[in-house]
Structure 1
């Protein structure tokens, strides 16, 4: 039936990469067959079954059913991936050279072991003259042969090193290859089985989710000195190992969590009045009556087959009668011999006798001890529903007194139990509590190796200043659409893609704290006047066409302003001169006056004027008797922070191009004459 269905090839059209995972959309077109069932090929093996969505883009018709099914195809000998054939050939060549080197080393050892062996002398035989010429000729032969063999060995060793290097390079390339090219003789993929009500030519869009895709935002900022406008290029580092290469696709990047549930919660209603039974969940139907008798004839036929006798086991208990060995053709007999409750006559092969009228109707074959509950995932069910609770409250076969039937609890089928198309009907070879009932498929469809490779993408090392989008986005979700098609292979490494170019406003100012360090630092105020949110990430800053540094850009919402540190400005110089004078005042010199004067010099060697923010500090009085008088011209911070405490004093000055400026300030501390500042009065 599957071979008669029409198979449509599809092409990847667009991809939306989320914080973890991606949503892919494929397009396929063709003429609908008479039954409206088609198979859309080209889906990866890791396509999530529950995420499949199919819609009709053009043509008449509507989609009534869609599901993902695995597809395997046996490859021909010449259809294996090129990297696999290359690796096999290089490995065979390396092994051949290694074996040749071993033979060469054995031959060298054999030649080097050649020694003259004199014959054994008898007792009555006198001394013989040594054949010196023969010994010398043998030595010359060994030396000449070893010289030739050593030259061949050196040449062969070079060939072995070259072959091993080529094999190692091919192995590294094979490990870094795209996961879309899998080795082996079987090509695994997935297909979308779609049923469309309509006729004629239609175009379908197939949407599915895949794991194994991540992205990080990166930026490139270019501006010129003295200008307010700047150009910010938003880029993305994307890595994916989904099992398919993204070639020429429309790429979009989203900060949303793909695995976050978005269903509408169901609120339970409160009703005042008489208690009413809760309605059964939608999609569940009770099991049909007489399900146990459905296999009665099959059991009789299986029991009538002759079973070969087996010898007694050594060490059997005395008086134990030999029984038939359970064979593969009698699984039902093994199930009956277990003595499941609700099936009298555990090992008998006779038809089930009628139950007494005094007993209530017996439910269909309850599960054996240790079987899963009806509300647990994977529990037995009929017609896509969960097994009723009568399975758990079935009366035992040994009870003789009548019992009232237990009231079944409300069934709570899971989502996979309500997926009717994915259920499998258990046959007569299954256990008695499974036969004739529907169960979800327990075998995972995706390969374990492919899933592990997809999970490794989430553990890639982040670049410097890189922040995952789910962390930097906070409570808002945003989507960025790339302006040009992108090519991203499924190799699990970072690939940079240009997303968009955003106009921003910048203002360069300079900050110095000469009391801590006599250096001036450049700060770039970045204002986001666009409708796009800027996530935290690394930004490459270039000034006047020259690369300056890579800094960390904080998250910037639309309309927000943030500061970006650019490092030390060598063109600006600062020097701080301080002086402390101690004196007394008041009646009888009862007050000690500590006069701190500060003079700050700024020199600008830039080709344009520079706005410099100078930060100083003043002491804070901890007692009412201590008074502090500040010199005018300095102001406290508008919004104190950890970097700029309330005791800081700020003054801004514009230094002309090639000029200098001088600032004066300070403070006066008045303390009682009998006291002193901890650490000494004369301090700056």
Structure 2
């Protein structure tokens, strides 16, 4: 049974782990194992990384997966989603135009009725004056008022219809702009699936569950928080949320979401260390999956070469009776078309080869099973019994090939590097190897080379998925890799969530985290006579809280959105809440200059600082007043402090204080005031004092 006729199992997306960039999706499929054990799990997105496919059997230890690879299915393309959205947009445009027309007609009726005025008949010169019919005027006014009341009610209804129609049209236009524009070629739609081979099933009537895991690009996330607490409380409730955006090509509906700060593309394989042995040298073992090329591979196309060039090929006729060699065939073959442009770099794309110095073309990769020396790029020397491809002799009457000409000139070929052959991972990926035919170059014909596994439609899907990484971040948001530092963290959501594949930010609730907090007020009156409210948060859990925006709600009233710094387990940080206008601060300074010493050879600068605080709040508050004293580097200049302030202890985290910072901490009762006095003396010897200058700063 081929892969195309394998039994099809429908799969459902169960969970997703979103990394700093990219995501790891997990699908579940259930069914009965067929006799040959081959099944096809459908539903995989086009943007997935084919090398990340993993599969295993869940709950049935006797059955295991012995082979897993990516398969392609083709079916006639139905109605494109973009086409249905386009029709919906046209319908809504017509409905919006009709609603505007009804509103305009209603407005015209309002203007027509509002323009009704009583017009008296023309009076002739001989006619006497007539009395004004007041009753008729009043009846007309009542009619106009009654009519306008009904028309205005209808006009409001028409305007409401127009607003709804314009809103629906705007939503449809937005959905159309976000829809994929990658149309399947030739009306054929292709999809990817996982082709699995199961082994160990003794009874075909038993259902088994298969878990398929794969990586996709186009998914990012940033943390967000919502803090709720009450005034005077020592604890608060911090709701951990996340803004998730994804454009992987499949909607995440009702899936379990986890968030990780790790890099999905980082290599995690363990390096292999070669052992050092003392004794006789032993040959290194050949790599797994490597096979030597068969003997006489170049003679396989002798008959093809003897048949001459293909019909339509522009080549000079060969000499009569001469056998067409590989060099002659290469000369007679049409020029090789230029290679296609490389696919855009994205998730899972191999790195581009560096340019070769001097402008020389990059060497082609070695074929799978090719003998060393067949190409300019060799990965090892041949084993015993392998035969290198010898250059073919030139045909009679033709110039020698470039290689032969170089050999005749005395240039020796480049020796292959020592050691066993070391094929790369691409050369050992059997599903992507392509067998080259006789029309290829002489060193590539009949050999396996890695082929291009990214078709134009898949490349377009990956390009659109990569656009998510360039989305503008929400306010105060920080990338997880920047805030996590050298550690990696994972956060699991408590409930399933829905994240559509539209490339916009969606909020997902992760869980609730208890935090300790206290409210403190900080002021630096020497810089600004304003008191600022702050929250001192402490992380009492064993999980780090990453930097991000936090919505602060106090006593069930929204206060503001602030920036939460990274909180390590057990860490304490301060979050600013803005100015506190209910607390006033006033600062006054006084400078007295004098001399001291036996001969008055010491200048004494006496600085006095007076700070007054007033609390207008109905609750007691804790205020921290920061001052600064000079810091000298000369041992002869002495600074003597005369105050009860203290140096900062740094109990609010790694806040960097300027040298010479001093702190007053005090409790202010509700409606109370306080005065703080401090100061310092600077004693400068006469030989180091400056004449003049500003003594106050």
- Which category of TM-score, normalised to the shorter sequence, fits these structures? 0.7 to 0.9
1:224 and 1:536 map into 2 onto residues whose CA distance is: 23
Is the 8 Å Cα contact of residues 477 and 548 (structure 2) preserved in structure 1?
yes
Contact 1:84–1:183 (8 Å) recurs in 2: no
- For the Cα contact (< 8 Å) 1:542–1:548, is it kept in 2? yes
Aligned match of 1:475: 486
Is 1:423 aligned with 2:433? yes
1:54 deviation in Å? 0.4
Q: 2:328 matched to which residue of 1?
A: 337
Do residues 545 (structure 1) and 529 (structure 2) align? no
The answer to whether residue 225 in structure 2 is matched with residue 225 in structure 1 is: no
Deviates more, 1:208-217 or 1:545-554: 545-554
Q: Could you report, residue by residue, the CA deviation over 1:67-123 in whole angstroms, capped at 9, with x for unpaired residues?
A: 1123332124598763144357789999xxxxxxxxxxxxxxxxxxxxxxxxxxxxx
Aligned pairs for 1:57-136 (under 5 A) are 57-59=58-60, 60-76=62-78, 82-87=84-89
Secondary structure of the corresponding residue to residue 16 of structure 2 = strand
Question: How big is the alpha-carbon RMSD for the aligned residues of Structure 1 and Structure 2?
Answer: 3.9
Look up the match of 2:176: 174
- Give the superposition deviation at 1:163: 12
Equivalent residue for 1:197, pick from 196, 199, 211: 199
1:635 match: secondary structure: coil
1:153-552 to structure 2, matched below 5 A, reads: 170-177=172-179, 185-199=187-201, 200=204, 201-297=207-303, 302=307, 323=317, 337-338=328-329, 377=365, 379-382=366-369, 386-389=370-373, 394-398=389-393, 410-445=420-455, 447-552=458-563
Equivalent of 1:612 in 623, 635, 649 = 623
TM-score (norm 2): 0.72
1:540–1:550 CA contact under 8 A, matched in 2: yes
Render the CA deviation track for 1:473-500: whole Å, top value 9, x for unaligned.
1111111001111111111111111111
Q: Sort the Cα spacing of 1:592 and 1:531 in 2 relative to 1 into closer, same or farther, 3 A.
A: closer
- Asked whether the 8 Å contact 2:223–2:548 carries over to 1, the reply is yes
Check 1:372–1:411 CA distance in 2 against 1; reply closer, same or farther (3 A cut). Answer: farther
Q: Cα distance, 1:177 vs. partner?
A: 3.5
* Aligned residues of 2:305 and 2:326 also touching (Cα < 8 A): no
DSSP 3-state at the match of 1:452: helix
1:646 is matched with 659
User: CA 1:43–1:582 in structure 2 vs 1: closer, same or farther (change >3 Å)?
Assistant: same
Contact map agreement 1:37 1:195 (CA 8 A) in 2: yes
- What is the TM-score of this pair, normalised by structure 1? 0.74
Q: What is aligned with 1:599? A: 610
1:510-539 alpha-carbon deviations (Å, 9 max, x no partner): 111112211111221110011221011111
Which protein shows a greater Rg?
1
> CA 1:597 to 1:71, structure 2 compared with 1: closer, same or farther past 3 Å?
same
Flag the 1:555–1:28 CA change in 2: closer, same or farther, 3 A.
Answer: same
Q: How far, CA to CA, are the matches of 1:166 and 1:564 in structure 2?
A: 41
In the alignment, which residue of structure 2 is the partner of 1:659? 672
Structure 1 range deviating more: 78-87 or 570-579 = 78-87
Deviation digits for residues 111-144 of structure 1 (CA, Å, limit 9, x no counterpart): xxxxxxxxxxxxxxxxxxxxxxxxxxxxxxxxxx
Q: Is the Cα–Cα contact under 8 Å of residues 589 and 607 in structure 2 kept in the other structure?
A: yes
Q: What is the CA-CA distance between 1:612 and the residue it aligns to?
A: 1.1
Query: CA contact under 8 A between 1:179 and 1:243: conserved in structure 2?
Result: no
Deviation at 1:249, TM superposition (A): 0.4
Shift of 1:51: 0.3
Q: Secondary structure at the match of 1:175?
A: helix
Larger CA deviation: 666-675 vs 25-34: 666-675
Q: Which residue of 2 aligns with 1:355?
A: none
8 Å CA contact 1:216–1:466 kept in 2: the answer is yes
Measure the CA separation in 1 of the matches of 2:167 and 2:231. 51
Cross-structure match for 1:5: 6
Q: CA deviation at 1:627?
A: 3.5
Pick closer, same or farther for the CA change 1:372–1:571 going to 2, 3 Å: closer
1:519–1:391 distance in 2 versus 1, CA, 3 Å = closer
How far apart are 1:443 and its partner, in Å?
Answer: 4.1
Equivalent-residue separation in structure 1 for 2:309 and 2:375 (angstroms): 30
Shift of 1:414: 1.2
- Please state how far the C-alpha of 1:467 moved relative to its aligned partner: 0.9
Q: CA deviation digits over 1:218-245, x for unaligned, max 9?
A: 1111111111110101110111111111
- 8 Å contact from structure 1 (residues 286, 388) kept in 2: no
Cα 1:87/1:528, change in 2 over 3 Å: same
User: How far 1:434 sits from its partner (Å)?
Assistant: 3.4
Q: Distance in 1 between matches of 2:94 and 2:445?
A: 53
Greater CA drift, 179-188 or 37-46 = 179-188
Matched residues, number: 565
Counterpart CA distance in 1 for 2:436 and 2:642 is: 92
Which residue of structure 2 aligns with residue 556 of structure 1?
567
Cα offset for 1:432? 4.4
The answer as to whether partners of 1:179 and 1:242 remain within 8 angstroms in 2 is no
Q: Work out the CA distance in 1 between the residues paired with 2:289 and 2:279.
A: 28
Structure 2 CA distance, aligned partners of 1:333 and 1:483?
A: 72
User: In 2, Cα distance between the equivalents of 1:621 and 1:293?
Assistant: 90
Query: Which whole-Å CA distance do the structure 1 matches of 2:632 and 2:28 have between them?
Result: 74
**Could you tell me whether the CA contact under 8 Å between 1:255 and 1:470 is conserved in 2?**
yes
Gaps of 5+ in 1: 95-161, 311-320, 325-331, 341-345, 348-369
